[in-house]
Amino acid sequence: MAATLGPGATRRLLKRLRDTMAAGGTAQQRLDKIVKIIAGELIAEVCSVYITRAGQVLELFATEGLKPEAVHKTRLRVGEGIVGEIAENARPLALADAQSHPNFAFRPETGEEIFHSMLGVPILRSGRAIGVVAIQNRTFREYADEEVEALQTVAMVLAELVASGELVSPDEMLRTEDAGLVASERIEGQKLNEGIAIGIVVLHQPRVSVRQMVADDPAAEKKRLREAAAGMRTDIDRIFADAGLEEGDERWEILETYRMFAEDRGWFSRIADAIDTGLTAEAAVQRVQEDNRARLAMVSDPYIRERITDFDDLANRLVRHLTGDRTAAADTDLPDDIVLVARNLGPAELLEYDRRKLKGVALEEGSSTSHVAIIAHALDLPMVGHAAGLLSRAEPGDPVVVDAMGGQIILRPREDVRDTYAAALRARQERRAGYAALKDLPAVTRDGTPISLNMNAGLVLDLEHLAESGADGIGLYRTEIPFMIRSTMPDVVEQTDLYRRILDRAENRPVVFRTLDIGGDKVLPYLDANPQENPAMGVRAIRLTLDRPAILREQVRGLLRAAGGRRLDIMFPMVAEIAEFDAAKELLEIEVTRESKRGRALPDPIRIGVMLEVPSLYWQLPQLLKRVDFISVGSNDLMQFFYASDRGNPDMADRYDPLSPGMLSFLRAIARDCEATHTQLTLCGDMASRPLEAMALLGIGYRRLSMPFPAIGPVKAMVRALDLPPLAKYLDEICRLADHSVRKKLGDFARDHNIPV
Ligand code: PEP
Ligand code: MG
């Protein structure tokens, strides 16, 4: 059956659809003809078109094969039945046995009980389903990929007919829900970057209108494609120029990766193939993009999945060049308080918006490792992702709250809810202003103990916050982050340049470079690694770089060169035994000798440290302390391995408390051993960023902490209000308890002693 659907068949189908569209008659009459043609060409007994109406309802608008009296009668809510599910997820569904699908909703008036198989695809407009087209067969038919693709192409033609406003008025198309326009809706999501934003929904790229779907002259279409691609590349160059980006800035790196996609030959040749089926260049771009999305969505590797967004962004750009419709949302008149709403965003797209107007971002998809999340973090822009159903519920102009603290989006908030958030936002801004005022004051406790507060970083961009945060230095520079945003492994020259830039921007503040913590879930697209069942405990970090010493040696070489003539602090992650440290140090020494033989200036001093994040290392601490210049406790991993509790599993997030007698006693033992040997000790995991946890850490002997920059102010405020001796005494007492957690006790202590936590 699939054999009947070569490019020739799709082309014939498209041509017939075009002739029908061009013929006279009402839109309903054309639609009635179209379903007949589709059923005939795709050898289906049924073809039905459902269109989304106000109230989030899908109405049967035309059918070939179901009972005609069901037309305009059969209605399904979005999410209800298979058709509703297709609309809700905006994804095709091919079922050989539709009736056994858990979401099957039987509608007796349609007479569909005799049809077993079903293939439905969404009719999409700006990523939202404005309808569904479905075919059905009596047999238990397995629909081939080519058939799914053909129906998707058809759905694009139908999208034009629906969007023309002849079937459902444009007014109604805009309102997905009559009552919903006033009703508030809360959509749960995931915090991708913290903060609160209040603003007005701006749908990213509301509409790229492809009117011409079918073309007779493939050669002419390919020429248009080439010209548009050239125009698009010029556009991207302009974004580089306008953003004032220079090489070495990772926004530049991210865009560079993105620019590489714009040159992707595979992509262009697939578009050319789609043109050969009879599509116009713009329709072909959209066709291939739907394909891309479907293919990449099935890949489990998050890095690769994220590239869907880059391609979406490029495809939209290319279509705009082809259609001459150059108004991206970023160019149009926008409100002063934009909350950008999109299925997903590419990094370049986000950078095109005016940062002063942009208050927050809400995404239906997105992930914390996406490029756009990295950029949002550096821009300090609140962002919530994974908000299922967001696009079908948010309307342009809707008031909205992005609550990235609580991981939720509130559409059309009630006035009292909005006021509460406005108050929270004001309080947050006031607190921030208050912390900013602390910037130049020392982090010293009331009893006179100096505390060193440092910042965690991973991007050059993060260093913009170093001076303003008042941090003493960079306590943890995660070198894997710049590796993750690239499409190829940076060589020694590039790494040297990057590390030098970091040291330069840090001025004379110390920077602790952690060598690559990759492997497991932090996959580099250019480094083939075997999939691992338990990535956090697999071949990652120092294990991986000891297995592939060239990677570590090149990185160390880059670091030595970048820091030539100045201080270098370097540490190894996930060390589980002394032997690993010794092996890593040996590689470092080989590089030091090599550099010095070549007459290169070496860093001075070179300080070598270890992350303590695997509990086993504690049992070799006496030997380790003789070998290292400093220790840094990675409490995120230490906690996960101490309690055997996955740090990435939301169900485990609150199961064990770092403020427990067990964990605190363990951390205290580490601090005591370091103090006895005068070894510098830092804690650089998330614990350090929460004032109450940070207070407990000071109470058990920690004097250096490293945290994300927004946490420095609140932690400093806590430090300056703290009298250490009574806290240390209290912690000794509570560490002896058998409690699950001492969080409440520490909270009470803070309150009783007027310590802001
Ligand atoms: C940690 O494990 O606490 C740490 C700081 O390292 P990462 O979060 O990068 O694993
Ligand atoms: Mg770690």
- CATH code of the domain covering residue 482: 3.20.20.60
189 with 227, same domain? no
Average pLDDT over the chain, rounded to whole?
Answer: 88
Q: Residue 100's CB: how many other CB atoms inside 10 A? A: 10
* CA trace torsion 27, 28, 34, 40 (10° rounding): -170
Cα(458) to ligand 2 centroid in Å equals: 13
658 with 636, same domain? yes
Do residues 696 and 744 lie in contact, with contact meaning Cβ atoms separated by under 8 Å? no
**How many angstroms separate the CA atoms of 698 and 724, rounded?**
8
Ligand 1 within 6 A of CB of 636:
yes
Domain assignment present for residue 441? The answer is no
Ligand 1 within 6 A of CB of 684:
yes
| pLDDT value at residue 326 | 64
Which of ligand 1's atoms lies nearest the C-alpha of 686?
A: 3
Percent of the residues in the chain that have a pLDDT greater than 70, as a whole number: 90
Cα(634) to ligand 1 centroid in Å equals: 5
Among the bound ligands, name the one nearest to the CA of residue 516: 1
498 with 584, same domain? yes
157 with 254, same domain? no
Cα atoms in the Cβ-side hemisphere of radius 13 Å centred on 550: 4
Ligand 1 within 6 A of CB of 377:
no
Ligand 1 within 6 A of CB of 404:
no
Do residues 630 and 571 lie in contact, with contact meaning Cβ atoms separated by under 8 Å? yes
**123 SS3 class:** strand
**How many angstroms separate the CA atoms of 691 and 756, rounded?**
8
Which of ligand 1's atoms lies nearest the C-alpha of 637?
A: 2
Which of ligand 1's atoms lies nearest the C-alpha of 478?
A: 9
CA-closest residue to ligand 1 atom 10 = 637
**How many angstroms separate the CA atoms of 493 and 252, rounded?**
17
**How many angstroms separate the CA atoms of 535 and 526, rounded?**
18
Percent of the residues in the chain that have a pLDDT greater than 90, as a whole number: 55
CA-closest residue to ligand 1 atom 1 = 634
Cα(517) to ligand 1 centroid in Å equals: 9
My answer on whether omega of the bond before 605 falls inside 30° of 0, hence cis, is: yes
Domain assignment present for residue 587? The answer is yes
CATH number where 78 lies: 3.30.450.40
**Alpha carbon of 656 to those of 270, 420, 614, 641: distances in Å?**
51, 31, 17, 12
CA-closest residue to ligand 1 atom 4 = 634
Domain assignment present for residue 166? The answer is yes
- Mean pLDDT of the region 200-205: 87
Q: Which residues touch 531 (CB under 8 Å, ≥6 apart)? A: none
Do residues 680 and 631 lie in contact, with contact meaning Cβ atoms separated by under 8 Å? yes
- Owner of token pair 């011409």: 212
**How many angstroms separate the CA atoms of 487 and 465, rounded?**
26
CATH number where 293 lies: 1.10.274.10
**How many angstroms separate the CA atoms of 687 and 697, rounded?**
9
CATH number where 378 lies: 3.50.30.10
**How many angstroms separate the CA atoms of 196 and 194, rounded?**
7
**Alpha carbon of 177 to those of 129, 182, 184: distances in Å?**
14, 9, 11
**CA-wise closest residue to 401 among 371, 379, 425, 377:** 425
Do residues 155 and 122 lie in contact, with contact meaning Cβ atoms separated by under 8 Å? yes
**707 SS3 class:** strand
> Of 304, 327, 350, which residue constitutes the final position of a domain?
327
| pLDDT value at residue 396 | 84
The one-character DSSP state at 70 is: G
Domain assignment present for residue 372? The answer is yes
Q: Which residues touch 372 (CB under 8 Å, ≥6 apart)? A: 309, 344, 345, 346, 347, 349, 350, 361, 363, 366, 383
> Of 429, 459, 488, which residue constitutes the final position of a domain?
429
410 with 262, same domain? no
Out of 183-192, 439-448, 456-465, 687-696, least confident range: 456-465
Domain assignment present for residue 236? The answer is yes
Residue 443's pLDDT band, with cuts at 50, 70 and 90, is very high
Q: Which residue type, as a one-letter code, is found at position 455? A: M
Ligand 1 within 6 A of CB of 480:
no
* Tokens of residue 32, six digits: 């009635």
The one-character DSSP state at 307 is: H
Ligand 1 within 6 A of CB of 613:
yes
415 with 502, same domain? no
> Of 277, 295, 327, which residue constitutes the final position of a domain?
327
484 with 581, same domain? yes
| pLDDT value at residue 47 | 97
Q: Burial of 206 by CB count in 10 Å (0-12 exposed, 13-18 middle, 19+ buried)?
A: middle
47 with 35, same domain? yes
Ligand 1 within 6 A of CB of 699:
no
CA-closest residue to ligand 1 atom 9 = 478
**114 SS3 class:** helix
pLDDT tens string 459-475 = 777 888 898 889 999 99
747 with 692, same domain? yes
Task: Report the residue among 512, 515, 611, 670 best suited for mutation to probe ligand 1: largest number of ligand atoms under 8 A from its CB.
Answer: 611
Cα atoms in the Cβ-side hemisphere of radius 13 Å centred on 415: 0
Q: Is the pLDDT of residue 300 over 70?
A: no
Tell me how many domains the chain contains. 4
673 with 660, same domain? yes
pLDDT tens string 527-575 = 777 777 888 899 999 999 999 999 999 999 999 999 999 999 999 999 9
Ligand 1 within 6 A of CB of 635:
yes
Higher pLDDT, 65 or 167: 65
Higher pLDDT, 57 or 117: 117
| pLDDT value at residue 222 | 95
Which of ligand 1's atoms lies nearest the C-alpha of 634?
A: 3
Higher pLDDT, 288 or 299: 288
Cα(633) to ligand 2 centroid in Å equals: 9
Domain assignment present for residue 434? The answer is no
Q: Is the pLDDT of residue 370 over 70?
A: no
Q: Is the pLDDT of residue 602 over 80?
A: yes
pLDDT tens string 308-332 = 777 777 888 889 889 887 666 666 6
Among the bound ligands, name the one nearest to the CA of residue 689: 1
276 with 382, same domain? no
Question: What is the maximum alpha-carbon separation in the chain?
Answer: 91
pTM above 0.75, yes or no: no
- Mean pLDDT of the region 449-462: 90
Ligand 1 within 6 A of CB of 478:
yes
Domain assignment present for residue 390? The answer is yes
Domain assignment present for residue 345? The answer is yes
Residues with a known catalytic role: 371, 684
Radius of gyration of the chain (CA): 29
**Alpha carbon of 454 to those of 251, 380, 450, 471: distances in Å?**
24, 18, 13, 5
585 with 681, same domain? yes
pLDDT tens string 133-180 = 999 999 999 999 889 988 988 898 888 888 778 888 876 765 543 333
Among the bound ligands, name the one nearest to the CA of residue 706: 1
| pLDDT value at residue 53 | 87
Which of ligand 1's atoms lies nearest the C-alpha of 685?
A: 3
Inter-residue long-range contacts of 167-176, CB under 8 Å, 24+ positions, other chains counted: 167/27, 167/28, 167/31, 167/51, 167/61, 168/51, 168/53, 172/53, 172/54, 173/130, 174/395, 175/54, 175/395, 176/52, 176/54, 176/55, 176/56, 176/392, 176/393, 176/395
**CA-wise closest residue to 735 among 671, 676, 655:** 671
Do residues 334 and 345 lie in contact, with contact meaning Cβ atoms separated by under 8 Å? no
pLDDT tens string 711-734 = 999 999 999 999 999 999 999 999
Ligand 1 within 6 A of CB of 517:
yes
Cα(574) to ligand 1 centroid in Å equals: 9
Residue 3's pLDDT band, with cuts at 50, 70 and 90, is very low
**Alpha carbon of 560 to those of 428, 493, 497, 688: distances in Å?**
41, 12, 11, 29
Out of 25-39, 362-376, 616-630, least confident range: 362-376
Domain span including residue 83: 7-174
Task: Report the residue among 462, 483, 517 best suited for mutation to probe ligand 1: largest number of ligand atoms under 8 A from its CB.
Answer: 517
Task: Report the residue among 631, 636, 706 best suited for mutation to probe ligand 1: largest number of ligand atoms under 8 A from its CB.
Answer: 636
